Structure 1
Amino acid sequence: ARLEIETGELDVDPEDFIEGFGTLGRSMKAKWHFRRLPYKMRTAVLVTKTDHCLNEILWRAEIGEMPVEITSIIGNRDACRGIAERAGIPFHLIEMDGEQRASGFTRIREILAEEKVELAVLARFMQILPDDFCRDFEGRLINIHHSFLPAFIGANPYKQAYERGVKLIGATCHYVTADLDAGPIIEQEVERVQHFHAPNDLVRLGRNCERIALAKGIRYHVHDRTIIDGHRAIVFPD
């Protein structure tokens, strides 16, 4: 369940209310947490080359639609450094080719710990995360996959979709697990495909879906509107 409480309308001190609720929760062996508003979640964004999802996050954060504090942008390529510099956000280039992969993920762990990151967003970060990394950050890793999961997992989903003649194309925002592109789904967005659409059109339509689905997914998570229940995410839309 999810509750929003106007503390100004309480007959007791908010701290006393929280303490009393804790007593009740422990007696029921329940799991709960409180978050005081307004609140901005410390968030790192991981990228590779494409920047549309990164730009969407930065824009929505700037106008106040997405309550996040971007601590840094982490890239395994240098393509998005300029965006980070213009936004005044630290950029970390982590080399991850070949034998550098393991040390690269070790460095990412260090950055997330140093910056006290609460949420890491894979904004088209084209690396498969190690199983132990996924487990250690369970419930705190969000990915945008450029297809309407569970169809067309893995690489080149738009090419796969075009070859199959799909009538809808979409994107899926989900929590990351050790199972590739199979974590609990937070949000999905679709666009209709017409017979005259070429592969490049599918990419364009898909990018729109990616931006919207990821923005909604992050917003739901930061506003505590998601509950992970096994292989699915229960979402309370705003």
Structure 2
Amino acid sequence: MNRTPNIYRMTITCPDRPGLVAAVSGALFAKGANILEAQHFADRLSGTFFMRIEFQLDQPRDVLKPALDRLEAEGMRINLRCAGEPQRVLLLVSKFDHCLVDLLYRERLGEIDAHFVGIVSNHSQEVLRTWIPEHIPFHHLPVTPGTKAAQEAGIKRIVEESGADLIVLARYMQILSDDLASFLSGRCINIHHSFLPGFKGAKPYHQAHARGVKMIGATAHYVTSDLDEGPIIHQDVELVTHADLPEDMIRKGRDVERRVLARAVSDHLEQRVLIDGHRTIVFRD
């Protein structure tokens, strides 16, 4: 990943109107910034403008503040981050560890620009410790129907104490309460082992097998209080045949789940995803 300290990523959301691209690029040019990548989209249905810019600035970022303040006063919602500062990511997982292991491996290879600040599981450390590096804190928070509120309070506390920018449900097989889902709104990604909106809920591969489908898939989406209804970030599919048993679909499903979640996490961390109501705008490189 590019962790050059003078590379910045900026996203902008605002009502659409003429001259927005010129206003933003002109403000950056006036301060000596060199634009490396720029993408924008105007949603004609909602009248909303979305933009993502990656640029190089060889002086302190504070020089941009007056110009950005002026743009924000004109109605732009701006999010600016330095590409040299990886975001802090907290992972939640249950027994199925394939997505967890894949994210850890990709981070080690430098494919995901993240700093993992902890792993939370409702299962014991012995179940997952084989794959978890010693430097990443592990939190065992068991949950029962009677302890769910206290357990979720523990998750909130870890989120706050770790300073997590993003929370990833890497096959965390618990339904979040409305309270926790609201607390994590806009900064929590879930991987659903189905090509939503089809086959929601439990055992989607068994549902798919029973219906004789010819492809299965996975969906990464932002968590909301509506179960499996959050804005979708990325989806992919895998072909299956009449000869595949539910166990074969589960095996194939693990591969597509890993790919989809990793892409969604990477896109979020690189500020390529902007939420547009129930939808997302995803600026792919």
Report the TM-score when normalising by structure 1. 0.94
Write the letter of the residue equivalent to 2:53.
Answer: L
Q: Encode CA deviations 1:101-138: one digit per residue, 9 max, x unaligned.
A: 11000001001111111111000101111112111221
Aligned to 1:6: 56
- Measured in 2, the distance between the counterparts of 1:24 and 1:182 equals 33
Q: Encode CA deviations 1:124-168: one digit per residue, 9 max, x unaligned.
A: 101111112111221101000000000011110000000011111
Match for 1:178 among 222, 225, 235?
225
Aligned to 1:118: 165
- Measured in 1, the distance between the counterparts of 2:60 and 2:101 equals 41
1:70 partnered with 2:120: no
- Measured in 2, the distance between the counterparts of 1:178 and 1:44 equals 19
- Measured in 2, the distance between the counterparts of 1:17 and 1:90 equals 37
- Measured in 1, the distance between the counterparts of 2:258 and 2:65 equals 37
Larger gyration radius, structure 1 or structure 2: 2
Write the letter of the residue equivalent to 1:6.
Answer: Q
CA contact (8 A) 1:53 1:211 kept: yes
Post-superposition shift, 1:13? Answer: 6.0
CA contact (8 A) 1:47 1:80 kept: no
In terms of fraction of residues, the more strand-rich structure is: 2
Secondary structure of 1:70's counterpart equals: strand
Match for 1:44 among 77, 87, 90?
90
Post-superposition shift, 1:87? Answer: 4.6
- Measured in 1, the distance between the counterparts of 2:259 and 2:85 equals 22
1:215 partnered with 2:265: no
1:82 partnered with 2:136: no
- Measured in 2, the distance between the counterparts of 1:58 and 1:19 equals 39
Aligned to 1:97: 144
Quick one: structure 1 residues 13 and 90, their matched pair in 2 at CA, closer, same or farther if it must change by over 3 Å?
Answer: closer
Post-superposition shift, 1:54? Answer: 0.1
Number of positions where the alignment pairs a residue of Structure 1 with one of Structure 2? 233
Aligned to 1:136: 183
In terms of fraction of residues, the more helix-rich structure is: 1
- Measured in 2, the distance between the counterparts of 1:13 and 1:51 equals 42
- Measured in 2, the distance between the counterparts of 1:54 and 1:200 equals 20
Secondary structure of 1:33's counterpart equals: strand
- Measured in 1, the distance between the counterparts of 2:129 and 2:185 equals 27
Secondary structure of 2:219's counterpart equals: strand
- Measured in 1, the distance between the counterparts of 2:62 and 2:232 equals 34
Write the letter of the residue equivalent to 2:79.
Answer: H
Aligned to 2:238: 191
Write the letter of the residue equivalent to 1:172.
Answer: T
Identity percentage over the alignment?
A: 43
Write the letter of the residue equivalent to 1:197.
Answer: D
1:156 partnered with 2:210: no
Aligned to 1:108: 155
Output the aligned Cα RMSD.
1.3
Report the TM-score when normalising by structure 2. 0.79
Secondary structure of 1:4's counterpart equals: strand
Structure 2, unaligned runs of 5 or more: 1-50
Structure 1, unaligned runs of 5 or more: none
